[in-house]
Amino acid sequence: MDEVITRFAPSPTGYLHIGGARTALFSWLYARKNKGRFILRIEDTDQQRSKKEYEEEILLSMKWLGLDYDELVYQSQRFDIYRQYADKLIEQGKACKKEGAVFFKYEFDKIVVDDLIRGKVKWTELPKTEEVIIKSDKTPAYNFACVIDDALLGVSCVIRGEDHLSNTPKQVLMSKALGFDVPKFAHIPLIMSEGGGRMSKRFGATAVSEYRKMGYLPEALVNYLLLLGWSPGNNREIISLDEAKDIFDLKNVNKTAAAFSLDKLNWVNSYYIKQKTAEDLLPLVEGILKGEKAGDFSFSRDYLLQVIRLFKERVSCLREIVEWGDFCFSEEIVYSGDTEKILSKNLAKEIEVLKNNLQPLENFDKTIIEQTLRQTAQDLGLKARDLVHPVRVAVTGKRVGPGLFETMEVLGKNRIINRLSALIDYWKKGG
RNA sequence: GUCCCCAUCGUCUAGCCUGGUUAGGACAUAGGCCUUUCGAGCCUACGGCACCGGUUCAAAUCCGGUUGGGGACGCCA
């Protein structure tokens, strides 16, 4: 049994997008499942469009996703190899020089590829009779470099996106002409955008790094991508990369293009966020906060941990902690539009009483806060919720949020008193 | 236009290979419960085999066609 060797071959002409990430994931999984090798090949033959920053971002995203590779190859360092093979083809009369470039002459034969995912795919014709393999600037063309590298690196199975399916007959022909063994192929369906249609830059985030910056956890993105086109079976939705490594099989990969769903990704991400401890999430939230707040505020480790505990059961990405929890990071409370109904009932006097009752509290913890609020409500002949709603608006500016008493404890007495006073003033000024 | 791929709830999917299931699960949606609120949690509901024909006692499952969707046709990768 030959060793399984797979590769992921991104071009550093853009960021790693989620479609590429899934291809990389499946390719990695297939290698790991079969105790084989996984190669990362940077296809940087286009000197104009290839950028160092893209390459770095791809490497970083691969690492972030947990997709390690056994070998890293740059096509830009192998130009001599491609030229040598081109010369060989010229000698053999299978290619010729023309207009400063080298053209490969197809000798078309019926081609059948037994794709590991799609089964037998047949071609009875090819749209062209020749193909540039070395461009006039002496750099290799994609199909040529790809075929040579796959053969030389010993790639046993080429796993790539379905958009490459139509390149396959060309590559098979070139591979045969060069005297190489033709590798196996597995073409993974493309990911489509939410509404169907092509993944477009215009709709939502496409780069893996964007998801990282928004506070999606790598295990969540990996888990979600895994579910797109593959299923662990047994009605399971949650699966780790580590476990997938053991049960993954290319044969179970769907042939159908799948539409990306941010809703489902959010659900998966919220699951993983709940699994994490506040300590796990701290550095990530700090990172987001520093980006948003431009380093103006410094919050203590302990305070941040408390805020994270407040929110981690109910957010779908970590940036939400910073956005939804803005009242934890800013002293200025803006009452959101949907609080109008609550604010329309003037409870200035009652809130004043509550404020005075909270003021002398020594240990400002949630139990005492709750007792105080409930007692105050009772004394005033109100239900607890009659006070809870406006107090929540005073404290957070919002109608919904984490448990009010926990929130008040985390924010601390001074802030609470100030914010209650602000609401009282708001009412006194007549809204 | 030519070639290629695909087709189960709105979305992701199990089932298909080896015909006989009340076609299962998840997200989303709606309703209910809990509760201090909720976008959290729990429960319930809604909702699907694209269409036509064939094979068969029997078709989501096998075959053909139609329609629909996607991809490729660069000295980009």
Please report the DSSP string for A81-145 in residue order: HHHHHHHHHHHTTSEEEETTEEEEEP----EEEEETTTEEEEES--S-SEEEEE-TTSPBPHHHH
Name the nearest CA neighbour of A164 among A25, A20, A16, A48. Answer: A20
Tokens of A395: 């404290």
Which contiguous run of DSSP H or E holds residue A366? helix A366-379
Residue A261 class from Cβ within 10 Å (0-12 exposed, 13-18 middle, 19+ buried)?
middle
3-class DSSP assignment, residue A276? coil
What confidence score (pLDDT) does residue A201 get?
A: 53
CA distance A4 to A165: 21
CA distance A271 to A26: 22
Q: Which residues on neighbouring strands pair with residue A196, listed in sequence order? A: A193
Residue A2 DSSP label: P
Residue A120 class from Cβ within 10 Å (0-12 exposed, 13-18 middle, 19+ buried)?
exposed
* Å from the A121 CA to the B66 C1': 22
What confidence score (pLDDT) does residue A203 get?
A: 62
What confidence score (pLDDT) does residue A194 get?
A: 87
The two beta strands, A5-8 and A184-188, are unpaired
Q: Is the CB of A17 under 7 A from strand B?
A: no
A8 φ, ψ (degrees, to nearest 5): -125, 130
Residue A48 class from Cβ within 10 Å (0-12 exposed, 13-18 middle, 19+ buried)?
exposed
* Å from the A196 CA to the B29 C1': 19
Report whether A155 contacts A4 (CB < 8 A): no
- Which residues of A in 345-384 have their CB below 7 Å from strand B's atoms? 370, 384
Mean per-residue pLDDT pooled into runs of 10, chain A (431 residues): 92 96 98 97 96 98 98 98 98 96 91 95 90 97 98 98 96 97 97 82 79 97 97 95 96 95 98 97 95 74 97 97 95 92 94 97 95 96 95 96 97 97 92 66
Name the nearest CA neighbour of A56 among A14, A87, A97. Answer: A14
What confidence score (pLDDT) does residue A108 get?
A: 81
Q: Is the CB of A53 under 7 A from strand B?
A: no
What confidence score (pLDDT) does residue A1 get?
A: 57
* Å from the A54 CA to the B75 C1': 23
Evaluate the CA torsion angle A329, A208, A238, A259 in order and state its sign.
positive
Q: Is the CB of A103 under 7 A from strand B?
A: no
* Å from the A316 CA to the B42 C1': 19
- Which residues of A in 328-347 have their CB below 7 Å from strand B's atoms? none
* Å from the A227 CA to the B36 C1': 38
Which contiguous run of DSSP H or E holds residue A377? helix A366-379
Report whether A320 contacts A281 (CB < 8 A): no
Tokens of A76: 């830009």
Name the nearest CA neighbour of A270 among A204, A221, A327. Answer: A221
Q: Is the CB of A180 under 7 A from strand B?
A: no
* Å from the A254 CA to the B58 C1': 28
Report whether A321 contacts A404 (CB < 8 A): no
Report ipTM for this prediction: 0.96
Evaluate the CA torsion angle A150, A152, A153, A157 in order and state its sign.
positive
Residue A165 DSSP label: G
Q: Is the CB of A167 under 7 A from strand B?
A: yes
Tokens of A323: 């956005």
The interaxial angle of helices A262-275 and A218-227, nearest 10 deg, is: 140
What confidence score (pLDDT) does residue A85 get?
A: 98
* Å from the A196 CA to the B50 C1': 16
* Å from the A265 CA to the B31 C1': 25
Question: Taking the model in full, what pTM does it have?
Answer: 0.95
Evaluate the CA torsion angle A248, A254, A257, A262 in order and state its sign.
negative
- Which residues of A in 279-308 have their CB below 7 Å from strand B's atoms? none
What confidence score (pLDDT) does residue A154 get?
A: 97
Q: Is the CB of A99 under 7 A from strand B?
A: yes
Tokens 């919002």 — which residue? Answer: A398
Strand B: which positions are within 7 A of a protein CB?
1-8, 10-15, 24-28, 36-41, 69-77
- Which residues of A in 107-146 have their CB below 7 Å from strand B's atoms? 118-119, 121-125, 127-128, 132, 135-137, 139, 141-143
What confidence score (pLDDT) does residue A134 get?
A: 97
What confidence score (pLDDT) does residue A291 get?
A: 84
- Which residues of A in 211-270 have their CB below 7 Å from strand B's atoms? 227-231, 233, 235, 237, 252, 254-259, 261, 263-264, 266-267, 270
> Within chain A, how many helices (H) and strands (E) appear?
18, 13
Tokens 């030389």 — which residue? Answer: A152
Report whether A65 contacts A21 (CB < 8 A): yes
Report whether A15 contacts A57 (CB < 8 A): yes
Q: Is the CB of A322 under 7 A from strand B?
A: no
What confidence score (pLDDT) does residue A79 get?
A: 98
